[in-house]
Structure 1
Amino acid sequence: MASQPQLPSTVLEAGDRFAVDLSPDGRSLTLPECFLDLDQTVDELLGPDAGPIAFKIADSLSALELPEPPRPIPAGTDSLWLEYQEPGRFRLRVRDPEPAGAAPELPTEYGVRFTLNPDDGAFLRAAAHQRASLPLFELAREAAQLSTNAGFDRLICLPQVRDMELLDHQTRTAKTVLQRFHGKALLCDEVGLGKTIEAGLIAAELRLRGLIRSALVLVPPSLIEQWRGEMRRKFSLELTSHDDPAFRDRGAAAWAEFDYVIASIHTAKRDPHRGAVTARHWDLVIVDEAHHLRNRNTQAWRLASELQKQYALLLTATPVQNNLEELFNLVTLLEPGLLRTAKQFQKRFVDKKDKLTPLHLDELHQLLAEVMVRNRRSTVGLRFTRRWARTERIAPAAPEQQLYEAVAAFIRPHLRKDTKSAISRMALLSLQMALGSSSPAAAGTLSKLAETPKLPAKDRQTLLELAERAGAQPESAKVDRLLQLLTEFPDKLVVFTQFRATQELLEKRLTAAGHAVAVFHGGLSRMGKEAAIAAFRGPARLLIATESGSEGRNLQFAHALCNFDLPWNPMRIEQRVGRLSRIGQTRDIEIFNFVTAGTVEEAVLHLLQAKLNLFELVIGEIDMILGNLDEEREFEDVVADLWAESDDMSDFRTRMEDLGNRLLQAKGEYQKQQAHDNKIFGDRFAPDP
């Protein structure tokens, strides 16, 4: 099986060194290319005497600029090491001169220089003349590696975990799953306690010990990028998405060629993917929101049951909804036979009069204790800070309102199900959302859509005229209100937008007003992203971030955010909030939601606040609630259909009210599930101490 090419390992140990060059004037420290490839950040730099050295990251991102030459290092020296201490912390070391007759330096394929101990060199030269095959050498190497690793009572991956503060219940969960459950577990923590982190810890530990070389992660579509960001930044685990061009170009064969893959279960269960996914043996399978597998009559459950796997993690806060048979179905995916057969389970453990009431509870608990971990907020001692959300309902200027109505009149008929349009549904939704963001965002999107192949000449002309009107719009009322808000609110602020054109507009206007601004978007290099976050930690008061800024980034040092525009999917809104309001946050969070009056975004926000109290929910609960809507479609697609089918804004609000009532019912069902879970499981299944 061919493996995808990978960068060198990003795992560093204390004492690892990199050769660096100091400029003749002692004011610039050039970083080697192999260091940049490791995706490391330098937050603190110490001199040889352990004293701090002031620095800033150069614009080129490949050097550190020093206000003054470091001491006690002579300027111009070419014998310096950059020594790794701990994540973000490095120390300069002066290299000792090589003794006479020392072995020559040898370069690795990544440019790292090293020398061999004379005894080791002699041994390797002698071994080259022995009859030892490569497979035998690999077997011996793996045996040596495994024999030197400690047992799972100590997690050897912890020194390499970055950008987060691990909590005791998370590390204890990982140890329990690896030691006692042998890598197969149902992770049922209450929402907000970090099941994703626990799964990442387990995966990182197995990988570092050489126990896995492939993994399949199945998550809801809206969580793919968040999972990728979390795994990459925190655990140095690079997951390839099914939507990546390199993956798509290989078709069904890609499932056998890429070793670490993330996809939605809706994609994996469909042909032609299903056959390729189930044909391969995966070392580790992780399924997030595994309550979607509670019914064994669904294609999703059947797919999960057919996966060939060594280790498996199912993550869900609500393993039971309608009856205890759902619990049996989940456990059977991990340990077939643990709860006997379905018929025996029903007879022994389920009350015939009430399918949610268990019989022989102690015996059931004893069996579940072999596969389930469940942490609760009340038992782990965590307290979450409050969130204070404020809606800024902004009246548009007359030209803005007229443009919105004209573009909406073009979009609505093209979105309707009975209309065949040359413009894709995704492009139409993007245009409608851009319209709610800013005129520059709408202008750029309109111009691109006018280039759509096979577009009728009449539609092309309409789009070009609308693009011209959007480009000629006066200054945005929303931007004016943001500038006013910044005079009223003095703290650091993260400003989220979905569109680069809006980001550029905000950067221009806010910088012109004298504000220190950092910009974060998906087009930046790794070092560019780190530099933007470092600037926001330091002198920059504002961080203007596109959606990529909400993918796995920890921005807890800030305590306020502004949703300059709003996604129609509440889970994406929640992901933004979760960058600041998360485990470990010590201060309350201020949230400013900007919506233009009379827009789709206003109706969506009103629904989410009035029916769900979105900004008061624990991070993760919104997905539990949406899961009870019994909708195969994404939430934004539901909203888009209502918008397309409406005659006018008044009709749309009526339809949204009906959707809100369904959401309220789904929230009630989720709360019932919580009550049932507490009744069935109580405080049992905490990880081993």
Structure 2
Amino acid sequence: MQPGQRIVHADFGEGIVVAALPGGYLRVFFASGERELHADAIQVAQTRSEQILGNVAGGPERLLRAWLHVEAHALPLMENSAALTAARIDLLPHQVVLTHRVATACPRRFLVADEVGLGKTIETALLLRELASRGELTRALMVVPAGLVNNWHRELNEIFHLNFEVFGSEGDVTDRKSNAFAKHDRLIASVDTLKRPARIRRLLEAPKWDLVVFDEAHHLSAYGDRKTANYKLAESLRDHARDFLLLSATPHQGDHYRFWMLIQLLNPTLFRSPDEMLEERHRLNSVVFRRTKADACTPDGSPLFARRWVHTESFTMSEGETGFYAKLREYLQDGFDLARKKGSEGHALGFVMTIFQKIAASSFAAVRSTLRRRQLMLTIHEALLKDQALDVDGHLELMKQAKNIIRVESNIPDTPLGNGEIDRMLAELKYRLVRKLDEDSLAVAASSHSSEQSTIAGEEMVTTAVAVSLPEERSRIATVLAAFPAIQETKVEKLMRALGSVWNQNPAEKVVIFATYLATVDLLAREIDISYPGQGVVVLRGGDHGMKLAAEKRFRKADGPRVLICTAAGREGINLQFARILFNFDLPWNPMDLEQRIGRIHRYGQRDTAQVYNLVLSDTIEGSIFLLLTDKLEEIAKTLGKVDEQGNVTEDLRAQILGQLSDRLSYDQLYRNAISDPELRRTRQELEAAMSNANEARKVVYELFQDLDRFSLDDYQPLADIDAGKRRIVDFVKTAVELDGGQVDLFDQDRLRVTFDRTELRCTINRDLARSDDTLELLGLDHPLVLRLLHHWRSISPAELGATATVGLNQLVVLTVWLIQGYQRGADATATLVPIAVDHAGKRVPSVEKRLRDCFQPPSDAPAVPAAERSALLQMVIEPALQRELQHRGIAGVEKSHAARLIAWVELK
């Protein structure tokens, strides 16, 4: 035992001899510290190769165990592994190619700039899955906008089963008592949650991440010497992660410096300045992937998306509606004026008025209902104040008014039972009033970026936010409500006529209708049932993703409801390409939300032209601004020749300009200010300036990105044939499960039943079959069972990897299998398996290497190479042959490094 010798101790594990001591003792360094031990208590640690060569044995089970170990390494390294996911999704060629390129790159630091709708979330999930199946992913952090946290959580966990947790949400991961970033390996967090300096410190104290992803990365901004908090967060995490991914459909905001700073996060040495980036823009190919909808296609090369036709139907309000709208506008303007006068103290009132303005844009019935409920809560609030002031008569009178409002609104009879119900409801309303006003939640609900939950919650919050109000607001609301027209709303009438026209042509036609607020949804459901009894209506009104899917499933059935009405909850997470007609009964302030709605039917799998109808009251503020925006878009499109044969602005131009516009224009501010701008003069100027800037930014982006490599189906062809890969997965699972005492029954070429560890799974390797049959699990490299088996067989003891086989050779041949990790700066990583077969004379046998998988088939006989000769054969013949092979493949050489690991030794006869 000499200093430097690696040893093993039964209790302390592996260690290194530091010094020899008198009496046969040794000083040994272990992970737990130095210890003095007698030489008899320790053993010399064998290398992995020594363990394999010293334990070669015959027998069919030993051979199968060696094969399972090799296959557990080989399966995730297949060229088309990205296409072998177990997620029930349609895999598109551009997604498979991008996943493969990122997974096989070194370093993995990229900006994925695919256009909206091409599946950047899916591409990220596929990458996570591929790295996990290779054993290269333990810790991953997704940093996303607050409004997208739930969407990311749902997609990664429910579709891809990646087991991510949300950081910072109530009842979820927190960092109050310990460092959550160290305790939890897979986290999703909002950029606002992480960018606080204290959080950044904790991030850097935790172990490094294998992968960090920033969604909507164009928000990582730097201006001159000033870096935003978002940018500083990304800068900190870039240096604390092995792999770093930025996602953005609009990464360039028309400012070359900001985009150059974004690229600096990926490779600070790529360009010395923005000017050099412009001159040498072809270098962007080393860090940027951009796929457009025009490039993307199906596996057979046909266009990915069917055509779409968008028509805006504008009309004016009736006389009664005009009067009501004038009173409502006056009420809103007074509210906004008072909010401005109060400064920061008036923010909450401004949020209340904004939400009312948005509800009014949905339907007059919705704003009437919400105003009526606010009037009720103001009445109860005032009654409670009278009670506190000991004004008994005033308190009783106001409570009487409140009860009467409840009776009328809820249609409750004047009976003892009815009065008891009113008292119960009144007690519940009083309880709501005592809750503290949540100004932050009001702000989120008023925002044009509000989530589905906050949008719906906004209807409730404006009724209970009575701590902020106008003087004499109850009477002001009464004046507005008195002007409410009793006739059917113009937009409702137009929609009913349109539905009649649709069903006259095809009574079975499925129709999707979007309306943001619940009161509008309820109104439309009633009107459709009255006008078209028997057609059926299903409402998608929020809740968890399971509730969304249940509504979608009912609507999808051939004999199911003909109409699906969606609130804001339907903007994302559902697929409705089996319907081709969509009505936007109301229009979201942010036009990108409108694109999201259209994307529910205009998506991959839609076979017909998607027909979209926008219903607009042109003499309302919202209608006027929407038409101004539409006209300006069409003007730009005509100038550029970007108008299709139907006169529609082409989808690519629309997406490019609106994507740039969203970061140049505050839609919330635009619509709020328009209340006090009756002629929309200031609004028109602001909108035109923003549109002009967005168009200029689009031109700049086009010029910079024109040298980026475009997607070609030729890139996909080598990865397209996955039948052999699917069969290999089945063979691996069957062998591994049966070797451990389980059972696999093959019903046909696509379906199998796996009985393992007291669990039964019905599986398939056919993606279409899995999507049509919920009882079948899709078997892929990222299926939990496959991942479990891969991990188990990759980690078995080296002492089990020396085997023998009888394959009918007329000479003795030794087959070795090596796992090679090759590294070269700026080039692809070369994780690969390399077989080296030599005969007893030391000559390479390529024919055996080509038949690698056939060499692990029983029968198996006794070892054929004397134990004393194996080490010399390995060192003198096989390892030099391996080195020459790696040089021939370009893996070894000058400025290239690699790691070689022996994973199997098979003696063949």
User: 1:459 Cα deviation (Å)?
Assistant: 4.3
SS at match of 1:436: helix
The residue correspondences of 1:404-415 to structure 2 (distance < 5 A) are 404-415=325-336
Distance 1:422 1:316, change over 3 A: closer
**2:555 and 2:562 in contact (8 A); partners too:** yes
Between stretches 509-518 and 203-212, larger displacement belongs to 203-212
Matched, 1:568 2:595: no
User: 1:610 Cα deviation (Å)?
Assistant: 1.2
Matched, 1:150 2:76: yes
Matched letter for residue 551 of structure 1:
E
SS at match of 1:591: strand
Distance 1:495 1:379, change over 3 A: closer
Residues 101-134 of structure 1, C-alpha deviations (whole Å, 9 max, x = no match): xxxxxxxxxxxxxxxxxxxxxxxxxxxxxxxxxx
Distance 1:312 1:516, change over 3 A: farther
Q: Which residue of the partner structure matches residue 60 of structure 2? A: none
For residues 428 and 249 of structure 1, what CA distance do their matches in structure 2 show?
Answer: 34
**2:538 and 2:561 in contact (8 A); partners too:** no
TM-score (norm 1): 0.66
The residue correspondences of 1:242-321 to structure 2 (distance < 5 A) are 244-246=169-171, 256=181, 262=188, 265=191, 268-270=194-196, 275=201, 280=206, 281-293=208-220, 295=222, 297-299=226-228, 300-307=230-237, 308-317=240-249
Q: Which residue of the partner structure matches residue 356 of structure 1? A: 278
User: 1:329 Cα deviation (Å)?
Assistant: 3.5
Matched letter for residue 475 of structure 1:
Q
For residues 216 and 619 of structure 1, what CA distance do their matches in structure 2 show?
Answer: 31
Matched, 1:559 2:580: yes
Q: Which residue of the partner structure matches residue 452 of structure 1? A: 465
Distance 1:295 1:621, change over 3 A: farther
SS at match of 1:489: helix
User: 1:437 Cα deviation (Å)?
Assistant: 1.5
Q: Which residue of the partner structure matches residue 676 of structure 1? A: 704
The residue correspondences of 1:530-569 to structure 2 (distance < 5 A) are 530-538=549-557, 539-569=560-590
The residue correspondences of 1:658-677 to structure 2 (distance < 5 A) are 658-677=686-705
For residues 669 and 158 of structure 2, what CA distance do their matches in structure 1 show?
Answer: 33
Between stretches 466-475 and 489-498, larger displacement belongs to 466-475
Distance 1:598 1:272, change over 3 A: farther
Superposition CA RMSD, Å: 4.0
SS at match of 1:421: helix
Q: Which residue of the partner structure matches residue 114 of structure 1? A: none
The residue correspondences of 1:467-616 to structure 2 (distance < 5 A) are 468-469=481-482, 473-490=486-503, 491-513=509-531, 514-524=533-543, 526-538=545-557, 539-613=560-634, 616=649
Q: Which residue of the partner structure matches residue 311 of structure 2? A: 390
Residues 70-102 of structure 1, C-alpha deviations (whole Å, 9 max, x = no match): xxxxxxxxxxxxxxxxxxxxxxxxxxxxxxxxx
**1:518 and 1:540 in contact (8 A); partners too:** yes
User: 1:205 Cα deviation (Å)?
Assistant: 3.4
Matched, 1:334 2:259: no
User: 1:435 Cα deviation (Å)?
Assistant: 1.0
For residues 570 and 674 of structure 1, what CA distance do their matches in structure 2 show?
Answer: 22
Distance 1:314 1:423, change over 3 A: closer
Distance 1:254 1:152, change over 3 A: farther
Q: Which residue of the partner structure matches residue 346 of structure 2? A: 421
User: 1:238 Cα deviation (Å)?
Assistant: 7.0
**1:496 and 1:563 in contact (8 A); partners too:** yes
Distance 1:473 1:396, change over 3 A: same
User: 1:305 Cα deviation (Å)?
Assistant: 0.9
Residues 315-369 of structure 1, C-alpha deviations (whole Å, 9 max, x = no match): 23565566876665334423455x3xx6xx34xx955xxx62228x5xx36xx43
Between stretches 499-508 and 280-289, larger displacement belongs to 280-289
For residues 383 and 175 of structure 1, what CA distance do their matches in structure 2 show?
Answer: 20
Alignment partner of 1:187 out of 109, 112, 127: 112
Distance 1:218 1:394, change over 3 A: farther
Total equivalences in the alignment: 524
For residues 241 and 424 of structure 1, what CA distance do their matches in structure 2 show?
Answer: 32
Distance 1:385 1:156, change over 3 A: closer
Matched letter for residue 558 of structure 1:
A
Matched, 1:160 2:86: yes
Between stretches 226-235 and 597-606, larger displacement belongs to 226-235
TM-score (norm 2): 0.51
**1:503 and 1:544 in contact (8 A); partners too:** yes
SS at match of 2:346: coil
Alignment partner of 2:365 out of 420, 437, 440: 440
For residues 553 and 249 of structure 1, what CA distance do their matches in structure 2 show?
Answer: 30
Distance 1:154 1:188, change over 3 A: same
For residues 387 and 529 of structure 1, what CA distance do their matches in structure 2 show?
Answer: 25
For residues 116 and 335 of structure 2, what CA distance do their matches in structure 1 show?
Answer: 39
Distance 1:450 1:559, change over 3 A: closer
SS at match of 2:246: strand
Matched letter for residue 172 of structure 1:
V
Residues 558-581 of structure 1, C-alpha deviations (whole Å, 9 max, x = no match): 111111111101111111011111
Matched, 1:201 2:108: no
Residues 256-314 of structure 1, C-alpha deviations (whole Å, 9 max, x = no match): 47765555545543566555556555443222332343647422322211013333211
Residues 584-614 of structure 1, C-alpha deviations (whole Å, 9 max, x = no match): 4332111111122322220232133112259
Higher relative helix content: 2
Distance 1:204 1:467, change over 3 A: farther
For residues 395 and 387 of structure 1, what CA distance do their matches in structure 2 show?
Answer: 26
SS at match of 2:596: helix
**1:323 and 1:356 in contact (8 A); partners too:** no
Distance 1:380 1:533, change over 3 A: closer
SS at match of 2:77: coil
User: 1:387 Cα deviation (Å)?
Assistant: 2.4
Distance 1:177 1:592, change over 3 A: same
Matched letter for residue 265 of structure 2:
L
Matched letter for residue 304 of structure 1:
A
For residues 289 and 681 of structure 1, what CA distance do their matches in structure 2 show?
Answer: 20
Between stretches 177-186 and 247-256, larger displacement belongs to 247-256
Distance 1:331 1:516, change over 3 A: same
Matched letter for residue 642 of structure 1:
N
SS at match of 1:388: strand
For residues 709 and 73 of structure 2, what CA distance do their matches in structure 1 show?
Answer: 40
SS at match of 1:391: strand
